Amino acid sequence: MTAEVAARTGISTTTRFSPAWLAERLQGVVLHVAVIGLTVAWMVPAAGLLISSFRPFTAINSSGWWTALAPPYNFTLDNYVKVLQSSNMGHSLFNSFMITIPAVVIPITIAAFAAYAFAWMKFPGRDWIFLALVGLLAVPLQLSFIPVLKVFVSIGLVVQNWGFVGVWLAHTGYGLPFSIYLLANFFRALPSDLFESAEIDGAGTLTVFFRIVLPLSVPAVASLVIFQFLWIWNDLLVALIYVGGTASVAPLTVTLANLTNSLGQGYNLLTAAAFISMIVPLVVFLTLQRYFVRGILAGSVKG
Amino acid sequence: MDLSLLLTDVPTLLFVIVAVPAVLGAYIVGGEFLVRRLPDRARGSVRPWIWVVPALVFVTAFLVAPAVGTVFTSFQSHEGGWIGLTNYQRQLTDFPTGGAWIAIRNNLYWLVLYTLFVLFFGLLLAVLFDRVPYESVVKSLIFMPMAISAVALGVIWKFMFWYQPADAPQTGTLNAIVVNVFHQAPKTWLTDVSVNNFALIAAAIWGITGFSMVILSAALKGIPADLLEAARVDGAGEITIFRRVIFPLMMPTVVVVGTTLVIFALKAFDIVYVMTAGNFGTDVLANRMYKLLYQADNPGGASAVAIILLIAVIPVLIFNLRQFRAVEARR
């Protein structure tokens, strides 16, 4: 183990101050410079916007964000205050929650039932239907918009009458293939002795599902919840199609996209608006990153 | 913000997130209750359907049936009459600048550049980060753009690409570098047709590299340490080890990530919509479909574009299915 660590960090047991030791040290330094340099470069775009969002309007327009890093410091919360007063960001934040929460809860509940059947029950066509779901992961959602929209309009299931019901239903349909795929794979990996001994003890299907399968699957369900939450929270296309840009119903992504097109030169407000839209996903991401990564690793075919 | 809204919408929200799972739970419990009343032999064949039917209904109603409907719409005029392949003809006319050709060309740019660069950066970062003790911190930082929306990402990069006339101080990061470090004239990154597609793709690469890095890094850690140790003992250099040992072993993962990226590239929409709205020769198929549907009120043309998109995805889809069956066969 120590040999491995030594090899990886580029430090070995070579005699100190020998040419070989110096070469290895130098290699280590180059490695750290490369890693830190790449990471810093990667952070520049986001850091630039974050710093700009705290700069006054006149400063943003007359000098680059990097000049704010040197004294005299001149930061303000004006942009945030103004964007919350003048645009719809507060309301949109609320709409985003209204759209996202049911669109996470409903498909995952339905998917858990289906995934259990796909994993542990036998029925004709099971493997073929599952294969079809895997195929659907790659199919562009664009293919479904026009007919679904026509049906929604003809039965009056539009935002004005039904609020967000239409977009909840649509997200349920769109989220199911991936959710079933991820959960079924996890359920299948549970040891089969578990099911056999439960059956011997006389436990019914419901008991097995609610008392054994679900409690054991908390990590899988958690990563799926985070995945679906971020996916819907950050979605622009489905929201544009089924919700539209009307101020009272638009989620954050749609409002921010509208601001981008309308503000033009007044882009100091845009900086603050962009960060307001990122707060929730960043908090979710930073607190639950472990589960998010696990979800990505489990289902890397999500389309 | 109008607070009266909270009084009507919050109860709706609470109702939905409590009532819907309750109804679904009641359905499953009720279904099981009925199944138990059936004769022994029928139980096993009825029960699975009770569990899968809600999912199948949603998938059929929102994905399968509409996809078939879109195929039909693509052969119809605005009024609903059959017009054969006319919609496709209009999309595929006047090569190379008419119809959907610009969008198809740009999707090809996305497909090649986005996929290759994301794989390259993902692999590079995974390998480099694997060797430092603060790996988890730098990985989180690279991965963070995954959490934000493509709209916010578009705003971030609009700033990077910001243009001011040559006599004004450059406030955009890239133009400041172009002017102050390379002493060139500032570029209009998003409207200059010689660079704008690559500018959009670069922004997208920045956002998704964390995804490929995380998956490739997991694959890298799956390579047995004694294997690398043996290669080192045999005197292989780090680059040889990467080329001869690490890369071949990671190939299957690279392929899986690559196919996912190809699908992302073909479906590219948000970044284009936010940063250029598909103007200045940056259109892509998904954006063209949206424009045809909403701005041109041309559902037939939009459907034809959607079908072109589907045809482009089919090879990846078939590949994914084969991959899946191969994995199943190994179980």
**Separation of alpha carbons B262 and B118, rounded Å:** 11
Q: What pLDDT, in 10s, does the model give residues B152-208? A: 999 999 989 999 888 888 889 999 999 999 999 999 999 999 999 999 999 999 999
Cα Rg of chain B (Å, integer): 26
Contacts of B218 in chain A (CB under 8 A): 297
Q: What was the pLDDT predicted at B2?
A: 55
Tokens of B77: 């005029």
Q: What was the pLDDT predicted at A297?
A: 79
Q: What is the band of B3 on the pLDDT scale with cuts at 50, 70, 90?
A: low
Contacts of A236 in chain B (CB under 8 A): 149-151, 269-270, 273-274
Contact flag B65-A147 (C-beta cutoff 8 Å)? yes
Q: What pLDDT, in 10s, does the model give residues B92-124? A: 988 888 889 999 999 999 999 999 999 999 999
Q: B317 Cβ partners below 8 Å, 6+ apart?
A: A135, A138, A139
Cα Rg of chain A (Å, integer): 26
Highest mean pLDDT of the ranges B6-20, B46-60, B222-236: B46-60
CA distances in angstroms from A203 to A121, A194, A200, B26, B49, listed in the order given:
15, 11, 7, 19, 20
Contacts of A61 in chain B (CB under 8 A): 171
How close B242 comes to chain A (CA, Å)?
13
Tokens of A285: 């991401």
Contacts of A32 in chain B (CB under 8 A): 132
Q: A188 Cβ partners below 8 Å, 6+ apart?
A: A119, A120
Interface of A with B in 155-194 (CB under 8 A): 163, 168-170, 172-174, 176-177, 180
Structural domains in chain A, CATH included, are 2-76 (no CATH), 83-298 (1.10.3720.10)
Residues in chain A: 303
Q: What is the count of residue pairs from A and B with beta carbons less than 8 Å apart?
A: 325
CATH of B94-330, one of 2.40.37.10, 2.60.40.2470, 1.10.3720.10, 1.25.10.10: 1.10.3720.10
With vertex at residue B205, the alpha carbon angle to CA B199 and CA B208, rounded to the nearest 5 degrees, is: 150
Burial status of residue A47 (CB atoms within 10 A of its CB: 0-12, 13-18, 19 or more):
middle
Question: Which is more confident, A18 or A235?
Answer: A235
SS3 of residue B249 by DSSP = helix
Percentage of the residues of chain A whose pLDDT score is greater than 90 = 48
Q: What was the pLDDT predicted at B203?
A: 97
Contact flag B147-A277 (C-beta cutoff 8 Å)? no
pTM of the model: 0.90
Q: What pLDDT, in 10s, does the model give residues B232-252? A: 898 888 888 889 989 999 998
Contact flag A121-B48 (C-beta cutoff 8 Å)? yes
Contacts of A111 in chain B (CB under 8 A): 55
Alpha helices, DSSP H only, in B38-170? 40-59, 65-73, 86-91, 101-109, 115-129, 135-143, 150-160
| Cβ A134 vs Cβ A202: under 8 Å | no
For chain B, give the longest Cα–Cα distance: 87
Is A213's Cβ below 8 Å from some Cβ in B?
no
**Separation of alpha carbons A241 and A217, rounded Å:** 34
Q: What is the band of A264 on the pLDDT scale with cuts at 50, 70, 90?
A: low
Q: What is the band of A15 on the pLDDT scale with cuts at 50, 70, 90?
A: low
Q: Is the peptide bond before B315 cis (omega within 30 degrees of 0)?
A: no
Among candidates A45, A107, A235 on the partner chain, residue whose Cβ is nearest the Cβ of B157: A45
Q: What is the band of A24 on the pLDDT scale with cuts at 50, 70, 90?
A: confident
Contact flag B13-A109 (C-beta cutoff 8 Å)? no
| Cβ A236 vs Cβ B273: under 8 Å | yes
